[in-house]
A = this chain, B = another copy of it.
Amino acid sequence: MDQIKIFAPATVANLSCGFDVLGCCLDAVGDEMLVKKNDLKEVRIVKITGQDLPMQADQNVAGVAVKALLNTLGSKQGYDIEITKKIKPGSGIGSSAASSAGAVFAVNKILGEPFNARELITFAMQGELLASGNAHADNVAPALLGGFSLVRSYLPLEVLSLPVPSELRLVVLHPMIEIKTRDSRSIIKQNVSLKSAINQWGNLGAFVSALYTEDYELLGRSLQDEIVEPVRSILIPYFQELKKIVSAKGALGFGISGSGPSVFALCKGEEIALKVKKAMHAFYSDKNIDFELHLSGINKQGIKVL
């Protein structure tokens, strides 16, 4: 195989109760990537459509992730990477993760799969390190594995796949103000009260339990975050108003997607999700802020070959 075309989906990390350890994969939004072997012994970003992103491989998350993979293999093979960006950088739905994870997935396929999906996470995390200054796995893991991913441990890396209740829908609103993950991380306090931490791990444990028991109401109640949301939500226009609006329309819960500014409403079933989407659209339409809205199911497969 000399070339491959893939779909690299958007992801929602943190999910309120699981900062830096929990994420899920969307099926409604994603980038496309075309990766081809070249004879130049060089990894090149040859084309980026849809966004203005660095073309130098060392400055591009896809380039950095692929190089990490090739270095581990000791391979000198070169690759040309074309990216059709549909996930906006800085949106908070795993734009850099889609590029990083998509690129290593594609190259790994061309090479005959020397690595499994879990091993690819480590390489893709190098892209996240470049993008945000922090090699977090809660976007690249669900992008590669699909469904819900839980990072039990970073050192050594251990990622679990959790079950996906079939009626779950996410409505994601992206207010088009850019917040860099790096900046959004810098406002988080590096120490937290034990009391808040206890509440957080109680909720995360309950969220995991609810995925197994398909207890949708419990999933909603577990979407609590008293550590990150109080500071990050200030950066997101009308966060508290949106929370009230989606709750009134029957959403199970509401929170910040990754480092924001995107927010998500967790819903049971397409019908409620459509109502929630409509209400968010109506509310944001007169706010003089450009926005995008996505209604998505949970993508169980993750990145796929097109």
Question: Which residues of A are at the interface with B, using a C-beta cutoff of 8 A?
Answer: 17-22, 150-154, 158, 160, 162, 188-195, 197-209, 212, 218, 221-222, 224, 227
Contacts and interface: CB of A to CB of B under 8 A. Distances in A.
A205 B202 CA distance: 9
Contacts of A152: 202-203, 205-206, 218, 221-222
Given A162-B209, A209-B208, A151 B194 contact: no
Contacts of A188: 194
30 contacts: A17-B201, A19-B198, A19-B201, A21-B198, A21-B202, A21-B205, A22-B205, A151-B202, A152-B205, A152-B222, A153-B199, A153-B203, A153-B221, A153-B224, A154-B199, A154-B202, A158-B206, A158-B221, A160-B205, A160-B206, A160-B218, A190-B193, A191-B193, A192-B192, A197-B200, A197-B227, A200-B201, A201-B205, A204-B204, A208-B208
Given A152-B206, A202-B150, A189 B194 contact: yes
Q: Which 9 A-B pairs have the closest CB atoms?
A: A152-B206, A201-B201, A21-B202, A197-B197, A212-B212, A208-B208, A201-B204, A205-B208, A191-B191
Contacts of A205: 18, 21-22, 150, 152, 160, 201, 204-205, 207-208
